[in-house]
Amino acid sequence: MDATPVSDQCLMTPPEGSSVRAMLARTAAIGRWLPIAPTSLLPLATVFIAYVIAGELGQATTKIRSGNLGPVWPAYGIALAGFLRYGYRVWPAIATSAFLVAYFSPVPALTAAGQAAGATLGAATGTLLLRRIAHFDPALLRLRDALGLIVLGGVVSPLISATIGMFSLYAAGLQAYSGLGSAWLIYWLGDGTGVLLVTPLVFTLRNLWDIRSPARIAELAALAVLLTAACVLMFGDLPFLAVRLRVLAFAVLPFVMWGAISFGIAGAALSVFLIATIATVLTALGLGSFAGPSPFVNAVLLDVLFVVLSVSGLTLAAVIAERERAEAEREQLVRERIAADARLRLTAIVESSNDAILSVNPDGVIQSWNAAAQRIFGYSEAEVIGQPSTMLIPPEALDDEQEMFRRLKAGERVETYETIRVGKEGTPVDVSVTLSALTDAEGRLTGASTILRDITTQKQAEAALTGLNRKLILAQEQERSRLARELHDDIGQRLALLSFGLTGVAQGLTDSPQVRTQILELEKQSTTIAADLQALSHGLHSSKLELLGLGTAMRSFCEEFSRQHQVRVHFKVHDLAESLPHYISLSLFRVLQEALHNSAKHSGAEHVEVDLWGLHGVVHLRVRDHGVGFNVEASKLGQGLGLASMEERLKLVNGELAIESQPDRGTTIDARVRLSESPSTSVDDVQPTA
């Protein structure tokens, strides 16, 4: 603080260029001898400029000051904030700016130096005391921090600055207010009020700038507008308000509470600062309940008002912030406890699982390994952690695995798939793999979790079942071949001989026309039976398939089937290889037979389309009708063997079967066989039997 005597004889004319800009220009040369590194000049400049501006604002309301000593000195709050923010290294900036503000107030240089020393020492002492509070935070998020700033920063530290400052003033013969005690009280209250008004605002104002919600911005604007209107109403001596009681000044306290509740320390500090600014300016203009005849009383009452509002707002906001922080910490502890319990449960599940469970980072390096993985693959946890997961993947499966991981990185969902892994001894292990992405809180991929179920036993059972099915089908083909030969070579020939014999007998009976007619009828029936047996023989074992190929054999069968069942069968073939392996031709031929018989028996369709073609090394057979259709899943669960027979036949030649059908929408059967693949045991292994 600074002061000059009240009497005109003691008043000094301010030197030319006493503005803020002039003071900055006059002190440009001072920074040359300061022992500060160039990298520290920015904090010094910031504190210096802020102190000078705050000092000029504190001296602006000369009408409520006595001897240039007033009720509020915001520059002291800047000094304390500077020490708290940048440390003791900014003392040259505080001391220099305090000296210049006091010197150009104006007072003698020695007095200005004393006041600057008092402000610097007091603010530094307040900082030292506040930092003795454990984990002191100038943002005042704890009640302990708020009370520390009020008591140590706003009460104790101004005792030093006020005492040294008043000693300097009175040593130079400069007096203010009605005496030493009154002047010292205003000096002390002014510095303390500056701390309560300015220091919290310095550290929390940015919180208000960070508000982005339109509703919150509107609420803050409403608070500022309504608070300004209330201050003008309370301190403006409006003509329509006849009542003038100082106690009405505390009617603005609800607005401070509003700011503290809604916006925390920043809201409370901004509200009190706005009230102090408006009340001080209006009082300086001679308006309001504090513009009385006694400057000392006016100054004390203003300080009391500002202190009460500041203490109320800061403590309320600190209590709310501390409570919210405690609630957040409690919720965090609950979440951490739940997460810990979940991790323990997950760990127990992982370790007790019969499936191998492991995790890898984005580079495919193994991060975790459970007991089941050690049992299945033979590697201990120490042997695999930090190793690439490719150590478990055979070379022929690397490309597929990399493609799966690429899809996972791209955000696609990878379903369970079956593949092969390799154990420690090089033994292949059939596994069912479930791949899941691991992400962080922002959704970025941090790795993958892999569950591998050992299905070796299942595969062995499936292989045994497939082998049994293969043997059954091979036996069936053998029996078909035997029956076809029996029907064609034996029974068919005998029927033919019977037919010839009946014809000869009929020709020899010239005396009995009636008997001759009966014999001819028997001969006709035997011929029909022989033709049916021949067709049945061809169905059981088509010689055309072996001699003329798949396309011709299928066309011939479709024509015979159409004549026998009165169903129009439209057959098309194109782009088919001239020579197909017999095991593929026979399997597709049997699928066609089964599909056409099922269509004639169940669909009620009068027209069936059959397409046979080759494309990119794949033979396709499609049988389509427009009949009543059926439920595919329900049919698979039924007693019929037709669909199962077609699927098993195609499995023998590494083919695939797809069936699309819905009630009243017809049926489409697609069979596909790759020519590049061959079964381990084909239907060519069928040996003729006698």
Confidence (pLDDT) at 627: 86
DSSP string for residues in 65-125: -BTTB-S--HHHHHHHHHHHHH-GGGHHHHHHHHHHHHHTTT--HHHHHHHHHHHHHHHHH
- pLDDT tens string 366-411: 988 988 888 899 999 899 999 998 899 898 888 888 888 888 877 7
Say which residue the tokens 């205003």 belong to.
Answer: 186
- Mean pLDDT score, 543-564: 82
| DSSP element (H, E) containing 369 | strand 366-369
List beta partners, residue 417.
433
Band (pLDDT 50/70/90 cuts) for residue 6 is very low
Q: Which fold has domain 354-454?
A: Beta-Lactamase (3.30.450)
Question: Is-contact 298 241, C-beta < 8 A?
Answer: no
Percent of the chain with pLDDT over 90: 24
pLDDT at 681 over 50: no
Max mean pLDDT range (121-130, 331-340, 415-424): 121-130
Confidence (pLDDT) at 13: 33
User: What's the gap between Cα 149 and its chain centre?
Assistant: 41
Band (pLDDT 50/70/90 cuts) for residue 684 is very low
- Mean pLDDT score, 202-221: 90
Task: Break the chain into its structural domains and give their ranges.
Answer: 20-325, 354-454, 463-541, 549-690
Distances (CA, A) of 262 to 63, 146, 257, 273, 327: 36, 17, 8, 17, 17
CB atoms within 10 A of CB 466: 16
- pLDDT tens string 10-58: 323 334 344 445 544 544 444 443 444 455 688 999 999 999 998 888 8
Confidence (pLDDT) at 7: 29
Contacting residues for 659 by C-beta, under 8 A, at least 6 apart: 632, 643, 667, 668, 669, 670
- pLDDT tens string 567-601: 899 999 988 887 788 778 888 888 888 888 888 88
Band (pLDDT 50/70/90 cuts) for residue 236 is confident
Confidence (pLDDT) at 221: 93
Superfamily grouping for domain 549-690: Histidine kinase-like ATPase, C-terminal domain (3.30.565.10)
Band (pLDDT 50/70/90 cuts) for residue 510 is low
Confidence (pLDDT) at 678: 47
- pLDDT tens string 432-476: 888 888 888 777 888 888 888 888 888 778 777 666 666 766 666
| Across 258-267, 611-620, 637-646, least confident range | 637-646
Q: What are phi and psi of 141, to 5 degrees?
A: -85, -5
Percent of the chain with pLDDT over 70: 74
Confidence (pLDDT) at 464: 74
Confidence (pLDDT) at 484: 60
Confidence (pLDDT) at 144: 92
Contacting residues for 65 by C-beta, under 8 A, at least 6 apart: 59, 295
Confidence (pLDDT) at 84: 93
Q: What gap in Å lies between CA 254 and CA 313, rounded to an integer?
A: 9
CB atoms within 10 A of CB 316: 20
Band (pLDDT 50/70/90 cuts) for residue 549 is confident
Tokens describing residue 125: 């002492």
